[in-house]
Amino acid sequence: MASISFYAGDTAVNHLSGSGLGFFGGSFGASVEINKWQDTTFITDGNGTVQGGAANNVKYSSDSLAYAPGIVPATGLKYIPNSKATANIRFTNSTTVRTQNVKLKIFDRTNKDHPASGVITRITELLHPSASYSVEGSGDTLWWGGSTHTGTDAQGTFIGAPNPSSRLTAGTNTVGGSGIFVPLAKSPGPSGIFAGDGSSNTGQYTQHDWYVGITASPDSVGSKTLYGLYVELEYL
């Protein structure tokens, strides 16, 4: 049976039971300043009030750089190992299959084509099986949702910044809804070790893993609960 699961490191995020990821200031429950980026990431409930385990915090620095766990200063996105990702998205199936047309969307937890409310999100796919920051991977060079992303990717050409959704203020640079979504690698296999450049692998496996860095910034005061992550794919 086919299924999609989400992990923060080795810890399952039980999204069907109401848990997910929350983005905070310097500690759990601390607010993120308006137009600033999160300093910590935790597994929590949909309202951000129940503290679960800490997740890797990957924080936006510039359109091509991020602050990542265990390294100072900010580093190029291609140098961040899979093991330091904010989230691991895992597809499993009882028989071997390949995957294609994999898309990650940020939405309002009601309609997958509607962007989240009150928060700016940027995402980078990591294709970096090595544990070393000194090794260059083959993932994204620029944050999706950043102002300089044209939409060009190993998968093809998609929607670049700013997000064209009519539900957002004109000129908004964010991943969201059917405006800017993130294309993910074809058939990465278990632990993403067969992803290559993200576009060429057609191998078939019972498990496929994708790794992403996620960074968030509020554009107004208050908790942002109309905020979810959606993944769709084809398998054959």
Expressed as residue numbers, the domain containing 77 is 3-235
Beta pairing partners, 219: none
User: Number of folded domains in the chain?
Assistant: 1
Average pLDDT over residues 65-84: 97
Residue 16: pLDDT band (50, 70, 90) is low
Average pLDDT over residues 6-18: 86
Mind listing the pLDDT tens digit for each residue in 129-155?
A: 999 999 999 999 999 999 999 999 999
Beta strands in 172-220 (DSSP E): 182-184, 205-218
Mind listing the pLDDT tens digit for each residue in 106-136?
A: 999 999 999 999 999 999 999 999 999 999 9
Dihedrals phi, psi of 170, to nearest 5 degrees: -55, 135
Q: Which of 94, 104, 76, 101 is nearest to 182 (CA)?
A: 104
Average pLDDT over residues 96-111: 97
Residues of the chain with pLDDT > 90, as a percent, come to: 95
